[in-house]
Structure 1
Amino acid sequence: MPNNNNGISPEMLILIITATFIGTFSRILSIKLDYRQYPNYPNGYLIHAVTGGLAAALGAFIIPSLMAKEFTAVTFLALGIQHFRDVRKIERESLLDLEGQEYTRRGEAYIDGIAKIFEARNYIALLVSFATALTIQLLQKLMNVPAWVEVVCGSIVGLTLFYMLKRHTERQKVQDIAAITEGKIEIKGSDLYVDDMLVSNLMGREEAKEWFLKDGLAAVIHPNHEHYQIPLLNSGQRQAILFEVTRRMGQRKIYSVQNPSNGKIIIAFVPIIKNFNLLKETISLTPLLETVKKNPELLNIKKGG
């Protein structure tokens, strides 16, 4: 507990340091550099690690503040939460400013989802830190155990909460609601077909025809259930898929069409890297946007299976 004469007691110092470390560590664990390369490194790592550390410190100091009856600390908690909302706003504005620098736009729906995730992960760091601190405080109050036992138990509780929150907030991916197959590219006259479905009628030049037949790739996205057509045909979701595909594989020319009768989506393009397995993996791992999940039953995999 706080010692008014000599500053912070050793017990409370252990609580604060452990909780802050576990909260920050949980935020670092949630930073994943995958094929999307976002956040980029090392600056992206640093920014998110620092903001996660601040969130963890806020969570760690809640218990000492209450023990010292410093209820004005709630004000700092509110300011910290407002700061995280500002981080979300800045992240969103930054990504919008970069929209014209990629092969294809991310789309506002995708950007909004990314910004919300970064804000939510700071809250996770705060909650993990608070749970760690609360566990250590309870052990100090109720049980006479060595300090290392308090640290270990607090860390276990904090990391368990992190795992649960991470599972709860994990987004579904296209592979959860659809299958992806390779489409057969054909050119009839000036028309481009994929699996006998018209994709474009702008293939008049012989060079363009040879280009597509030689270097083109096509993927057909099949919804696993009828109601999965709703998220897949959403314009924001299609834009997110196109963005991930072109960012990972490059793009010389691209077409995307949908078939309203069966909900299939066809992506036909001439990539810089020609590799269908890479294309399939990229589409499969594209996250489903929160804006398409307006009805909880909409993406119920068990009901849709």
Structure 2
Amino acid sequence: MGGPLERDQVILIVTSLIIGTLARIITIKEDFRQYPSYPNGYLIHLVLGFVAAALGAVAIPALMTKNFIAVTFLTLAIQQFRDVRKSERDSLKDLENTEFAYRGDAYIDGISKTFESRNYFSLIVALGCAITIQLVDSKSSLINIISGAIVGFILIYILKRFSKGKTIGDISEVKEGKIEVKNHELFVDGIYVTNLLGTENASKLFQEEGRAVVIFPRQEHFRVTLENFGQRQAALFEATKTLGVKRYHFTRRDFNDGRVVIALVPIINDIDGLIEVVKKTPLLESSKKSPAVMKSNMVGRE
């Protein structure tokens, strides 16, 4: 059963493999800041993307040569990709105690699901490319390659658009907050944050070097997402990971109007950078309880 591959089949497999791997390369840059390690994490996911693309690329030739056993490897691949999610989740949880602030279980779950889904990108794109080449079946190899590549890139575009999540900046305004310390109690824009600044040195440090941002939900129902503890923890993590923490980091919410505070004493004292990183924090799937959040078409998405 099977036999040597013909030239047309080799072209089909190689073209699909290249386009499918490109799909992972394009999307891997979007996940860069979430990686547990670099460049090792980068390499691991590139190789997994290549494997996923290979599975999608060989599925059609396997069917055409009646090698149905080979197609069953697709089910094995899906299980392997699910293991990728588990390994990423375990890896990120192992790193929790080494970070300035915890990512939180909700953020870790979202990251691990993202890594799993990116491998399906490669598989679907490679499979679509292979099917296209098989259907076109032109005598010209160039026409077959171009047709497969066009469909492959269209699929990449569609999948990226479909899977692109929103960020905090899509549903809220993020502005610098005014820091005040009264009797060793920290306030930001009048919102009580903490009473843990118990010494003169701590109070002075936060007054002189502390930075804070306040997140204002654009609509009332966005409070459901922004006030979710996992979502606030994710924003705090991104802020501390980007700017570092010299000492102290807090997140609090105002129960009256839904404002959320992120406050810290950063190593890199850059308020514009703090605002930007909070805006770009992804909205977690687990925090989206309102259908209105999903239907929002706020300006600012890339």
Matched, 1:181 2:165: no
1:33–1:39 contact (8 Å) kept in structure 2: no
Matched, 1:146 2:165: no
Report the Cα distance in structure 2 between the residues aligned to 1:30 and 1:302, rounded to whole angstroms. 22
Residues 86-97 of structure 1 mapped to structure 2, 5 A cutoff = 86-97=83-94
Q: CA 1:37–1:228 in structure 2 vs 1: closer, same or farther (change >3 Å)?
A: closer
Offset at residue 136 of structure 1 (A): 0.7
Matched, 1:119 2:113: no
Offset at residue 39 of structure 1 (A): 5.5
- Percent identity reads 49
Matched, 1:156 2:153: no
2:128–2:151 contact (8 Å) kept in structure 1: yes
What amino acid sits opposite 2:24 in the alignment? R
Residues 185-204 of structure 1 mapped to structure 2, 5 A cutoff = 185-204=179-198
Q: Residue by residue, what CA displacement relative to the aligned partner does 1:28-72 show, whole Å, maximum 9, x if unpaired?
A: 111116772625432112111111111101101111111112222
Partner of 1:11: 8
Offset at residue 183 of structure 1 (A): 0.9
Partner SS state of residue 118, structure 2: helix
Q: Alignment RMSD, CA only?
A: 1.9
Q: CA 1:3–1:102 in structure 2 vs 1: closer, same or farther (change >3 Å)?
A: closer
Matched, 1:25 2:19: no
Partner of 1:76: 73
Partner of 2:258: 263
1:39–1:45 contact (8 Å) kept in structure 2: no
Report the Cα distance in structure 2 between the residues aligned to 1:190 and 1:295, rounded to whole angstroms. 38
Report the Cα distance in structure 1 between the residues aligned to 2:78 and 2:143, rounded to whole angstroms. 31
Offset at residue 229 of structure 1 (A): 0.2
Structure 2 unaligned runs (5+)? none
Partner SS state of residue 63, structure 1: helix
Report the Cα distance in structure 1 between the residues aligned to 2:91 and 2:280, rounded to whole angstroms. 24
Partner SS state of residue 113, structure 2: helix
Offset at residue 255 of structure 1 (A): 2.1
Moved more, 86-95 or 202-211: 202-211
Q: How many residues are paired up?
A: 298
Structure 1 unaligned runs (5+)? none
Moved more, 214-223 or 69-78: 69-78
What amino acid sits opposite 1:271 in the alignment? P
What amino acid sits opposite 1:264 in the alignment? R
Q: CA 1:200–1:294 in structure 2 vs 1: closer, same or farther (change >3 Å)?
A: closer
What amino acid sits opposite 2:285 in the alignment? E
Partner SS state of residue 180, structure 2: strand
Offset at residue 245 of structure 1 (A): 0.6
TM-score by length of 2: 0.94
Moved more, 181-190 or 35-44: 35-44
Partner SS state of residue 10, structure 2: helix
Equivalent in 92, 106, 117 of residue 109 of structure 1: 106
TM-score by length of 1: 0.93
2:63–2:71 contact (8 Å) kept in structure 1: no
Residues 29-68 of structure 1 mapped to structure 2, 5 A cutoff = 29-32=26-29, 36=33, 38=35, 40-68=37-65
Equivalent in 142, 154, 165 of residue 159 of structure 2: 165
Q: CA 1:114–1:303 in structure 2 vs 1: closer, same or farther (change >3 Å)?
A: closer
